[in-house]
Amino acid sequence: METHNDFYSTPAKKSKCQKKRKWREIEAILDQRSLEHELKEIDEFFQLDELERV
């Protein structure tokens, strides 16, 4: 049998993990965008299609 505190603390823990996962996903997207931007600066003929094939 769960206690009153355990019952209400469980969703908060899950929510915290979900927020961390979302932030990791956001950071990964931002990293990818910055990498694409840097590659465009290096190679003016850079094509996004080539990056997606790799």
User: For 34-49, what is each residue's pLDDT tens digit?
Assistant: 999 988 888 766 565 5
Within-domain flag for 10: no
In angstroms, the CA 29 to CA 35 distance is 10
Quote the pTM value: 0.53
| 52: pLDDT strictly greater than 90 | no
Residue 27 lies in a domain: yes
Contact by Cβ (8 Å): 51, 36: yes
How many independent structural domains does the chain possess?
Answer: 1
Q: Is residue 36 domain-resident?
A: yes
In a domain, 40, yes or no: yes
Residues 6+ apart with CB under 8 A from 7: none
> Do residues 10 and 22 make contact, with C-beta atoms less than 8 angstroms apart?
no
Range of the domain at 47: 17-53
User: Of 54, 24, 4, 6, which Cα lies nearest the Cα of 46?
Assistant: 54
